[in-house]
Amino acid sequence: MDNLPKKNRKVSSFFAMFLVHKMQIGVGLLGFERVIAKNAGYDAWVSILITGFCVNIVIWMSFRMLHKDGNDLISIHKHLFGKWVGGGLSLYFIVYFVFLTITILRTYTEVIQIWLFPGINVPVLLIIFGLLVYSCVAGGFRIVAGIAFIGLLIGMPLLLLKYFPLQYANFSNLSPVLDHSVKDLLLSAKAVTLNFLGFELLLMYYPFLDEPRKAEKWAQIGTIFTTAVYLFSAFVSFAYYTQEELAHSIWATLTMWKIVDLPFVERFEYVGVSIWLFEIIPNVCLGVWAASRGVKRLFAVNQRKSLLFLLFIIILSCMLFQTRQGIDQLNTIVSQVGFWTVFIYIPALFVYYMIVDKVRKRSK
């Protein structure tokens, strides 16, 4: 196996749960309810279950290929399609990881613009984020995994704040149950795809998992936990907002933070947005690490040099999106591309890999 990491650069298989879950919980959790309720109304909780189940299937497929190959996505593409075609497909994934990172970073900076500092200098803020991400990713994958773990510990207590909107909840909003068509539920499931993206990075960090066969169950648990978090958040928002109110609430969770009443904090949404930085930075670090790792594997370039180049591209690209419409369009495009990449390409790659593997075994 070429270019496999040394044992002292690997993390415990247990970390697969945090790495998968952390990428799926990010800025999308602050306002996904309006998007998924657009097609399926308050039956959209069924769509969350559908998407979570499909993600677990794709994770299973990914691990089947990775267990057989023993390396990463770059190696799989090379063995199946050769140097040039495989290299082109791997390059596509590098670009995909970059755009996924751009979406996360630019959406969060928009939240800061709207909720904290409307007049903030966005380019300066992006450069500060870039320096922070570089210092983390340059330390290696173990540092990135540790930041993901810490970010989860810091961010998860914010779920307890759902207690405040529950005091004003009207669960009759959820009825009648299951009064939407299967088509509406599937369209809503497609809409929530963006919130579940990021787990496919395991195709890149698989070699960095110690005892990777044990990591599979932890990755599955991570997605189950993600599904539970989105289900809980959706139920609270659906019970708190009417459908008309939710249709006009771009950041439903952030808006609910306005009613949080704590004796030592007057405007908790300011605190919440600040704490959410610890949820966003690990996601950006993982995305940039996967892209720079792909460049290193594909072009034999030093990862730190590729890291600097990619961060420059990401920061510059983020500056191009200045309006709400532009950022919303970016989210929509990445969501659609992610849907086809995760739920169409990876299953097709899995089927082709199994066929090729069986044919090669027979020929031997």
Tell me the pLDDT tens digit for each residue of 20-67.
999 999 888 888 888 888 888 888 999 999 999 999 999 999 999 999
Q: What are φ and ψ of residue 322, in 5° steps?
A: -105, -25
**Alpha-helical runs (H) found in the chain:** 15-24, 33-40, 44-69, 73-115, 122-137, 141-155, 163-166, 182-191, 193-196, 202-205, 212-240, 243-247, 252-256, 268-275, 277-299, 303-320, 324-340, 346-363
Strand ranges for the chain from DSSP E: none
**Total-model pTM:** 0.94
Predicted confidence (pLDDT) at residue 282 exceeds the cutoff of 60: yes
What span, in angstroms and rounded, lies between the C-alpha atoms of 304 and 346? 28
Q: Is residue 2 part of a domain?
A: no
Domain count, the chain: 1
Q: What is the CATH number of the domain that holds 327?
A: 1.20.1740.10
253 in Cβ contact with 29 (< 8 Å): yes
42 in Cβ contact with 241 (< 8 Å): no
Q: Is residue 169 part of a domain?
A: yes
CA-only gyration radius of the chain, Å: 21
Q: Is residue 93 part of a domain?
A: yes
Confidence of residue 280 (pLDDT cuts 50, 70, 90): very high
Q: Is residue 212 part of a domain?
A: yes
Predicted confidence (pLDDT) at residue 323 exceeds the cutoff of 90: no
Amino acid symbol at 135: S
Could you tell me which residues are beta bridge partners of residue 209? 11
What is the pLDDT at residue 319? 92
- Which tens digit of pLDDT belongs to each residue from 88-121? 999 999 999 999 999 999 999 999 998 888 888 9
What span, in angstroms and rounded, lies between the C-alpha atoms of 41 and 258? 24
What span, in angstroms and rounded, lies between the C-alpha atoms of 73 and 218? 20
Three-state SS at 6? coil
* pLDDT top residue among 2 and 247: 247
| CB-CB neighbours of 323 under 10 Å | 9
Amino acid symbol at 133: V
- Which tens digit of pLDDT belongs to each residue from 162-195? 888 888 888 887 877 888 889 999 999 998 988 8
Q: Is residue 316 part of a domain?
A: yes
90 in Cβ contact with 77 (< 8 Å): yes
Q: Is residue 1 part of a domain?
A: no
1 in Cβ contact with 71 (< 8 Å): yes
Question: What are 111-116's contacts with CB under 8 Å, separation 24+?
Answer: 111/27, 111/30, 111/251, 111/254, 111/273, 111/276, 112/273, 114/251, 115/251, 115/254, 115/269, 115/270, 115/273, 116/270, 116/273, 116/274
Quote the domain boundaries for residue 63. Answer: 7-363
Predicted confidence (pLDDT) at residue 1 exceeds the cutoff of 80: no
Q: Is residue 29 part of a domain?
A: yes
What span, in angstroms and rounded, lies between the C-alpha atoms of 184 and 318? 33
Helix, strand, coil proportions of the chain in percent (round to 5)? 80, 0, 15
188 in Cβ contact with 44 (< 8 Å): yes
Q: What are φ and ψ of residue 331, in 5° steps?
A: -60, -40
Q: Is residue 300 part of a domain?
A: yes
